[in-house]
Amino acid sequence: MHAHGPRVFALSFALTAIALAGCKKETPPQNETAAAAPAPAPAPTPFSVTGIEVGKQVGADKRVTNPTTTFGPKDTIHASVATDGAAPKKVIAAKWTYQQGQVVKEAAETIAPTGPAATEFHISKPSGWPAGKYKVEISVDGSPAGSKDFEVKK
């Protein structure tokens, strides 16, 4: 008889438990009274703007594909606002201005983000943009959240 028999048994029990745990499949909750060990819920990420980019195109993910700050008169100008965090309601607004503050256009998107997201704004002018310096200012619920300067050249 080997002296380490119980130890081998204990090891084999532990390995079986680990194997069974590895096979456990995630299932949706069935009812409010289902017994489950309380797991600490991760704290929700507070909502914040993580980046602003401008460019001539955005992808399906609403992010600018090739950021640039120089545009031609006939270009469509896109601004993409990257955000993180969850919130029941956030108003992301873009204010486009020309030179010393002349308002070109204002727009807003009301979203209910549940995590990382991108919100895209775009402007175009069929008759052509006047050359000069422009700015897009982004606000969240009326509070400034960042801005990006760009230029239109002939």
Partner 1 sequence: MPDPNTPKADFSDVESGSSSTAPPANDRTYTVVKGDSLSKIAKQFYGDAQQWRKIYEANKDQIKNPDLIHPGQTFRIPGA
Q: What angle do CA 58, 62, 63 make, to 5 degrees?
A: 65
CA distance linking residue 63 with residue 138, whole number of Å: 15
Verify binding: residue 145, partner 1, rule CB under 8 A.
no
- Of 67 and 118, which CB lies nearer to partner 1 in the complex structure? 118
Each residue 18-47 as x (binds partner 1 by CB under 8 A) or -, in order, gives: ----------xxxxxxxxx-xxxxx-x---
Question: What is the separation of C-alpha 111 from the centre of its chain, rounded to a whole number of angstroms?
Answer: 11
Contact 32, 26 (CB under 8 A): no
Nearest approach, Cβ of residue 133 and partner 1 (Å): 12
DSSP per residue, 57-92: -B-TTSSBSSB-SEE-TT--EEEEEEEESB-S-EEE
User: Considering only residues 56, 67, 123, 145, which one is a binding residue for partner 1 as defined by CB under 8 A?
Assistant: 123
**Hey, which residues does 132 pair with through a beta bridge?**
152
- Of 12 and 124, which CB lies nearer to partner 1 in the complex structure? 124
Verify binding: residue 143, partner 1, rule CB under 8 A.
no
Could you list the residues that contact partner 1 (CB under 8 A)? 28-36, 38-42, 44, 61-62, 83, 86, 88-90, 92, 94, 96, 98-105, 107-115, 117-127, 130, 132
